[in-house]
Amino acid sequence: MAQLIFIIISVAAFGKAWQNFMTVRRNILLGQDEKIEGNTAERWRNVLLIALGQRKMFKLTIAAVLHLFIYVAFLFTQVELIEILIDGAFGVHRFFAPYLGILYPVIISTIEILSVLAFVATVAFLSRRYFLKVERFQKPELKGFPMFDATLILVLELTLIFAIFSMNGADAVLQTKLPEKYHHVSPFAISSWLGPSLLGRWDAHLLVGLERFGWWLHYFVVLAFLNYLPFSKHLHIILAFPNTFFAKLNPRGEISNMPIIMNEVRTSMGLEAMPNTPVMQEGEMPTFGANDIFSLSWKNLMDAYTCTECGRCTASCPANLTGKKLSPRKIMMDVRDRVEEVGKSLDSGDIRLINKELYPNDSVLTAQNFADGKTLFDRISKEEIHACTTCNACVEACPVLINPLDIILQLRRYEILTLSEGPKDWTPMFTSLENSGVVWQMPVEREAWVRDVV
């Protein structure tokens, strides 16, 4: 019966988690297609050094070391999780022990030591948020659910550590009280002395109950975390790998061209248009930049889902440091919130959200005919995107190669080129650039000095 219950719970939980992850995938693909180019070997190097090796994390040493404790503990604990899956499905106990021999207690001892380090790190992270009040964790965008999200994951981490030591500690005592069922597997680094010290006088039946409680608690925490992950900032533990692989390899300061604008400039200079690129047709008014998630690329949306909300981008942003409204972290969070909003609306199937002006005959809501009357500008103010200096500090600071600047530039391009709006202070610069090719208003042509030299 216990095996049947375990299998039913597992199938239901993993099935629901798969459904949630597929929803995230669908949401990311709501963005425009983006061609990924560059050296594949360099991309894999980024995955190994930055996503797996966390190289950029160590620009802040204390936070990096604490994060490393939790990260490595998470990786090693998967060995115990695999064993729980096998034990639960086949009704055995410590399946790996007889096959791994002396290596088994070494692995479990490593997990226990790492769990203690993870406990220290978790308490430190809670203290940094609630007692030390590290400045980058006190920004307005972290109020409400983001702070709850971070706290919940840390509490689940503590619960998992409690489950591990409850299970292993009770097991260590039962190895001497019920050796016929709990066979001896050599001492574990911590539970072999902690268990007898705290639980040595407990009745065997109570110990069996505690061991099962710890075992089930461990498994339920994992299932809860797995199903909560698609709604949490901690989705980055999965998406960090594809996000670093697909990150742009071009120099940080290089800003992507708009092919139509580039060809318009070339034509005005008497040059031929670039081959295989769009050309503006007479009377045509194309849309430049982006005003919503549908006009951003899927990579931009993956960036938003990968955001760790660590705030390193905002902490290094010169605009934010001088008191301006811009926060690159908030930009990424706003994009993700908008994607989630659109995704839930699409799942609702509400036909009132169909754009009847363009699709009068449609009766099924899709991403193509969706229109709820909202855009990213309902979440991101123009004051925020105007404050950006395009210095790339946020891009350089991100530990998982997220590019908030690309989204800011897309929003700016839409405002200035499509809406013909923008700060009044910028208008003279654009006018001068269009008329004389320089950003300063000058009474002479830009190339006038050449005639004097000749």
Kindly list the domain boundaries of the chain, sorted by start residue. 2-235, 287-422, 425-454
pLDDT of residue 282: 67
Inter-residue contact 69 to 114 (CB < 8 Å) = yes
The answer on pLDDT for 281 being more than 70 is no
Classify domain 287-422 by CATH number.
Answer: 1.10.1060
What does the pLDDT look like over 13-47, one tens digit per residue? 999 999 999 999 999 999 999 988 889 999 999 99
* CA distance linking residue 315 with residue 114, whole number of Å: 30
Average pLDDT, the chain: 91
**3-class SS of residue 83:** helix
Tell me the two tokens of residue 26: 């669908």
pTM, two decimals, is: 0.90
Tell me the two tokens of residue 25: 């995938």
Tell me the two tokens of residue 352: 């009132």
* CA distance linking residue 329 with residue 341, whole number of Å: 18
Tell me the two tokens of residue 451: 């005639």
The answer on pLDDT for 195 being more than 70 is yes
pLDDT of residue 155: 96
pLDDT of residue 185: 85
- State whether the Cα torsion 36-41-45-51 is positive or negative: positive
Inter-residue contact 392 to 253 (CB < 8 Å) = yes
The answer on pLDDT for 77 being more than 70 is yes
**3-class SS of residue 354:** strand
